[in-house]
Chains A and B, each alone.
Chain A
Amino acid sequence: MVKLCVLIAAVSLLPILCLSFSPDNPTDRRVLVLLDDLSLKSSHSIFFNSIKSRGFDVDFKLADDPKLSLQRYGQYLYDALILFSPSTDRFGGSLDLAGVLDFVDSGHDLILAADESASDLIRNIATECGVDFDEDSSAIVIDHKSYAVSETEGDHTLIVSDDFIQSDVILGSTKVEAPVLYKGIAHSVNAANSLVLKVLSASPSAYSANPSSKLSSPPLLSGSAISLVSVVQARNNARITITGSLDMFSNRLLRSGVQKAGDSNKYSKSGNEQFVTELSRWVFHERGHLKAVNLRHHKVGETDEPAIYRINDDLEFSVEIYEWSGKSWEPYVTNDVQVQFYMMSPYVLKTLSTDQKGLYHTSFKVPDVYGVFQFKVEYQRLGYTALSLSKQIPVRPFRHNEYERFIPTAFPYYGASFTTMAGFFIFSIVYLYNK
């Protein structure tokens, strides 16, 4: 009876357990979308539907909803946040700039899209993530060479770009063939931030200015310094996407055909859909999420992990690395994982060999130096979660009885001392009893 109760309880808890975010299931489940205007819900429905169809709970709220709250009783209600509310000056409810940043700093994901009307709040969030939108609030990206060809000549603010980041992890293994249509503001990545990456850059001929007024001074941002879409993977592996174009996600641009100016290739469908979908997959940890578990080490010939090593011990080291496929943990196979045996500087640096099933192992000799060492695995690859493991282990010198007791080079000394002793003994006897 008791067992049955436990079973029922377990079964009923199972879906809740599955839904909640956990290291075992890094994929986001609950997404909050903040909008300026609920009409965006329909105008960007393709993007939202693709998220929904992948099994996410998408919750739409107005950005100034007075009941807006990301957390309740210290628990976050959402795993990811999509800010499609560029013109919001203040969020409703208790949410503010710090609230959004805390949300990210506690390991949750963020997609932020701005446009010409981007408010200071949205700009500040971006700045805190290492992305600076063009300070001129009327400026948008203009490109007179790689703009999208359309019936009307226009002001070349609907530009096309195919300068993607070279990463299968971020953008998926299928190449985005068609260029991406972009209409929005420019931003640059902060050079001081080592974590931010440009995913989609503007062409060298782009610049950021007000299209309706005459350009009086050189634009602040121009050429490939302009980033159109940037991503940040924080140190806690929270992922952030920032773009200056909300239209990029819209049904209109997702559906429209594209032809780059001066290019005869005409695509019936722009690359936007594939681009934003794949990017959202990456942001929501459906791809490129690694975990390293079971960091083990032991002496050769033993299985238990010792509390301390001795210098010149032979040891075996292993770690298991898995990649999240969106549904399950699959072995991560590569040949460039390295382990350091580290004390202020790496004394041993070895590439781990893999058994193709996720287990990486190697063996090496502890250096002839004592101290407090660390096994360190620092694996940072573009797009993948950064693996940074360290395990402390002291290394001691020989004990007094671990040295070799008799060494051949010392035989003359042994001989000398024993001869002296024997000689002294004989001398004493002769001296004392031989009158």
Chain B
Amino acid sequence: MVGKTEPVNGSVKQAAMSSSSSNPSRSDLLSSTFSLKSLKLKTKQQELLIRVSILCLVYILAFITRLFSVLRYESMIHEFDPYFNYRTTLFLTQKGFYEFWNWFDSESWYPLGRIIGGTLYPGLMVTAALIYWTLRLLRFAVHIREVCVLTAPFFASNTTLVAYFFGKEIWDSGAGLVAAALIAICPGYISRSVAGSYDNEGVAIFALLLTFYLFVKAVNTGSLAWALASAFGYFYMVSAWGGYVFIINLIPLYVLVLLITGRYSMRLYVAYNCMYVLGMLLAMQIRFVGFQHVQSGEHMAAMGVFFLMQVFYFLDWVKYMLSDTKMFQDFLRITVTCAVVAGAIALGVGTASGYISPWTGRFYSLLDPTYAKDHIPIIASVSEHQPTAWSSFMFDFHILLFLFPAGLYFCFKRLSDATIFIVMYGLTSMYFAGVMVRLILVATPAVCLISAIAVSATIKNLTSLIRTKSKTALTTSTKGSSGSKASSKASLDQSQPFQKNGAIALLFGAFYLLSRYVSHCTWVTSEAYSSPSIVLAARGAHGRVIFDDYREAYFWLRQNTPPDAKVMSWWDYGYQITAMGNRTVIVDNNTWNNTHIATVGRAMSSYEDEAYEIMRSLDVDYVLVVFGGVTGYSSDDINKFLWMVRIGGGVFPVIKEHDYLVNGEYRVDKGAAPKMLNCLMYKLSYYRFGELVTEYGKPSGYDRARGVEIGNKDIKLEYLEEAFTTSNWIVRIYKVKPPKNRW
């Protein structure tokens, strides 16, 4: 990997230039003219050369466009969850696989602890560790952090290859190339796979697309080998991300649609049965999944379709044996009714007896977007679980949003098993993307593929139109992007006089759109998606200002607190505290125990003396709060506070949301609710803040994140004392005092 990264790092400038100035069709223009002049190659060989060189360039482009974050900041792990992944990977590389598998972590979820090995998807860590070990074997002395940072870009590059083959499978190689190019720079995917974003999604999208590709291939060929490969792809996906549930529901749905539309075939039977049975057995090897795969409601659709396939096969056999069609019709009716009734009874009995667990809250919230808001505040509180705004679709897909329906049109026009699959993938994932922001990621490959079909088919039609009229110089340049031999079968209407000019204009329009797409993607990547969110940057009067407060605080914890100190914070910061501060936390981002989180939420929203009792019962030594009032950093604990109240109130009804609101309004200034002004979170955030003048011309205690002067400037702490506040006040750490000596 290092051997690959070095030239990549060296050629970043050139790559950035090429990526901003042109789409891949320009690079293949260069390479094709070069190859034509120097070598006498047959057309097929020329085409292969062009295709391979385009793919190589796309591969490199996908990698280097994700390195903005390293250039802008440094080679570091981003955000929240990646810190847990990094910590576990470190553990895996240091202690070996079995220790990792059996790891009981006593540093998180104090005092409950967490069985790490049984509650994570190990795919990402094992992948990174394997890359690391391979590099070590090859005598590349890399640090595991570098491997972790670059895992996501590496897999993004691999995804482009899969996208190419997938596009080739469902349409043609031209569509494949366009798909590879589109997905390489699509912001929806980049948002989760920039260098440093060491999260499950980084490898999972690769695994997802690979599984789908292999399954479609298996359906197209009816080959056991491809089905087996897709089962292994599925296994890798299960080991990497909880989103595998999407696969195990989409594929049965697809099979069901094929069955209903009368497209049942032996190929489908082989592909699905092999993939399902082997995939299930393999998936059950992942401890976190285990028997869920045969017992939980989310997986039941796959099992039902599996049995339905057997019924179809049986019926096929009976049809073959029976010559009488009327008899067969009766038999069909009886069998199907019996099968459906038996399935329904089995499902009912299983659910009633508790053998089949009901759907989880997350699954419900996918099907019903309002479910989480009403029932599970902990899911609704996560920003990436919010319903998607229109603007973010535009932001993440840009022109693909318009090309997507066009692609669907082309798919419907040439309906096959493969295009049905991609249509279903596209439509379902688009729905889910609308439900949750983070699922835009899952929709991205489908959108890219379908858009690629649109682009490829349009350009191909246009160029063939031009070529049949007259051989212009344009032919060579567009040939690459259309990819395959221009189809001569395109029916052309000779009677249109402006057709040629119109085609050229349209072609230029398409190129213009695509180049806009490229510049948009590059801009989005560099401006929006490359921020590590652990280091904040702002534009100041003298250029860029860096706020490195998080790391400052975590290193303070690491250096200045006893090794067994327990730190209480809102769960967002749990992973970072354990990974960077190396201290025990009460709750963290693995939100498996709602009660425990609610206890912390209750402590934060109680008065200091009540909170002290709770903190004593949890052996808390330090309390960490994130505060953006000085810097204007808006995602701080005061802005998250209502969620703490809601989550705390969900378990402990003594916490009532309306105690913290004034006429349904959340405020921190003088008009704030009295409970708000005296709760622990308010006190810890604004302690000594009343003395501070944050902005010229504003009174002291002016909160820049919320733009108000705070309501309680004279805060006295009785049971806690300030231990550390970072240079920009973003992180504040308080020590819990021991009980009074004489009372």
A contact residues vs B (CB 8 Å cutoff): 101, 104-105, 128-130, 192-195, 232, 234-236, 238, 240, 308, 343-344, 370-373, 392, 394-397, 399-400
Known: A343-B111, A394-B113. A372 touches B741 (CB 8 A): no
Contact B115 A373 (CB under 8 A): no
Q: Does B718 contact A (CB under 8 A)?
A: no
Bound complex: CA A400 to CA B97 (Å): 12
Bound complex: CA A426 to CA B688 (Å): 82
B contact residues vs A (CB 8 Å cutoff): 98, 101-102, 104, 106, 110-113, 115, 564, 584, 617-618, 738-743
Instruction: Note all chain B residues with C-beta closer than 8 A to A344.
Output: 111, 617-618
Q: Which residue of B lies closest to A394 (CB)?
A: B106
Contact A370 B111 (CB under 8 A): no
Instruction: Note all chain B residues with C-beta closer than 8 A to A372.
Output: 106, 110-113, 584
Contact A105 B742 (CB under 8 A): yes
Instruction: Note all chain B residues with C-beta closer than 8 A to A400.
Output: 98, 101-102
Bound complex: CA A130 to CA B584 (Å): 36
Contact A396 B111 (CB under 8 A): no
Contact A193 B113 (CB under 8 A): no
Known: A343-B111, A344-B111, A371-B113. A195 touches B743 (CB 8 A): yes
Bound complex: CA A195 to CA B739 (Å): 12
Instruction: Note all chain A residues with C-beta closer than 8 A to B111.
Output: 343-344, 371-373
Q: Which residue of A lies closest to B101 (CB)?
A: A400
Instruction: Name the residue in B98, B564, B740, B742 with the highest tally of chain A Cβ atoms < 10 Å from its Cβ.
Output: B742
Our pick among B98, B112, B742 for the contact of A104 (Cβ within 8 Å) is: B742
Contact B104 A396 (CB under 8 A): yes
Instruction: Note all chain A residues with C-beta closer than 8 A to B115.
Output: 370, 396-397
Instruction: Note all chain B residues with C-beta closer than 8 A to A129.
Output: 742
Instruction: Note all chain A residues with C-beta closer than 8 A to B112.
Output: 343, 371-372
Instruction: Note all chain B residues with C-beta closer than 8 A to A104.
Output: 741-742
Bound complex: CA A128 to CA B743 (Å): 9
Our pick among A192, A235, A394, A395 for the contact of B741 (Cβ within 8 Å) is: A235
* Nearest CB of A to B257, in Å: 32
Bound complex: CA A54 to CA B738 (Å): 35
B contacts with A: majority SS: loop
Instruction: Note all chain B residues with C-beta closer than 8 A to A232.
Output: 742
Bound complex: CA A239 to CA B739 (Å): 17
Instruction: Note all chain A residues with C-beta closer than 8 A to B110.
Output: 372
* Nearest CB of A to B690, in Å: 26
Bound complex: CA A168 to CA B69 (Å): 73
Bound complex: CA A277 to CA B564 (Å): 44
Going nearest first, the 4 A-B pairs with the smallest beta carbon separation are A394-B106, A396-B104, A372-B111, A399-B102
* Nearest CB of B to A346, in Å: 13
* Nearest CB of B to A7, in Å: 38
* Nearest CB of A to B620, in Å: 13
Contact A194 B113 (CB under 8 A): no
Given contacts A395-B113, A397-B115, A400-B102, 7 further A-B contacts (CB under 8 A): A104-B742, A130-B742, A130-B743, A192-B743, A308-B104, A372-B112, A400-B98
Bound complex: CA A343 to CA B619 (Å): 10
Q: Which residue of A lies closest to B103 (CB)?
A: A396
Bound complex: CA A371 to CA B102 (Å): 14
Bound complex: CA A96 to CA B57 (Å): 79
Contact A193 B742 (CB under 8 A): yes
Bound complex: CA A404 to CA B704 (Å): 61
* Nearest CB of A to B329, in Å: 32
Instruction: Note all chain A residues with C-beta closer than 8 A to B113.
Output: 370-372, 394-396
Bound complex: CA A231 to CA B270 (Å): 86
Bound complex: CA A194 to CA B618 (Å): 22
Instruction: Note all chain B residues with C-beta closer than 8 A to A394.
Output: 104, 106, 113
Q: Which residue of B lies closest to A237 (CB)?
A: B741
Bound complex: CA A193 to CA B740 (Å): 10
Instruction: Note all chain A residues with C-beta closer than 8 A to B738.
Output: 235
* Nearest CB of A to B476, in Å: 56
Bound complex: CA A415 to CA B617 (Å): 51
* Nearest CB of A to B105, in Å: 9
Instruction: Note all chain B residues with C-beta closer than 8 A to A343.
Output: 111-112
Instruction: Note all chain A residues with C-beta closer than 8 A to B101.
Output: 400
Bound complex: CA A45 to CA B148 (Å): 78
* Nearest CB of B to A33, in Å: 22
Instruction: Note all chain B residues with C-beta closer than 8 A to A240.
Output: 742
* Nearest CB of A to B109, in Å: 8
Instruction: Name the residue in B106, B112, B115 with the highest tally of chain A Cβ atoms < 10 Å from its Cβ.
Output: B106
Q: Which residue of A lies closest to B104 (CB)?
A: A396
Contact B106 A308 (CB under 8 A): yes
Bound complex: CA A257 to CA B25 (Å): 117
Bound complex: CA A395 to CA B98 (Å): 18
* Nearest CB of A to B95, in Å: 13
Instruction: Note all chain A residues with C-beta closer than 8 A to B98.
Output: 400
Bound complex: CA A194 to CA B739 (Å): 12
* Nearest CB of A to B646, in Å: 24
* Nearest CB of B to A370, in Å: 6
Q: Which residue of A lies closest to B113 (CB)?
A: A371
Bound complex: CA A236 to CA B738 (Å): 11
Our pick among B584, B618, B741, B743 for the contact of A238 (Cβ within 8 Å) is: B741
Bound complex: CA A101 to CA B101 (Å): 54
Contact A370 B743 (CB under 8 A): no
Our pick among A101, A193, A392, A397 for the contact of B564 (Cβ within 8 Å) is: A392
Bound complex: CA A281 to CA B102 (Å): 56
A-B contact pairs, 22 of them (CB 8 A): A101-B742, A104-B742, A105-B741, A130-B742, A130-B743, A193-B743, A194-B743, A235-B738, A238-B741, A240-B742, A343-B112, A371-B106, A371-B111, A372-B106, A372-B111, A372-B584, A394-B113, A395-B113, A396-B102, A396-B106, A399-B102, A400-B98
Bound complex: CA A372 to CA B586 (Å): 11
Instruction: Name the residue in B98, B110, B112, B741 with the highest tally of chain A Cβ atoms < 10 Å from its Cβ.
Output: B741
Instruction: Note all chain B residues with C-beta closer than 8 A to A395.
Output: 113
* Nearest CB of B to A232, in Å: 6
Instruction: Name the residue in A104, A105, A128, A399 with the highest tally of chain B Cβ atoms < 10 Å from its Cβ.
Output: A399
Contact A234 B104 (CB under 8 A): no
Contact B564 A128 (CB under 8 A): no
Bound complex: CA A34 to CA B617 (Å): 42
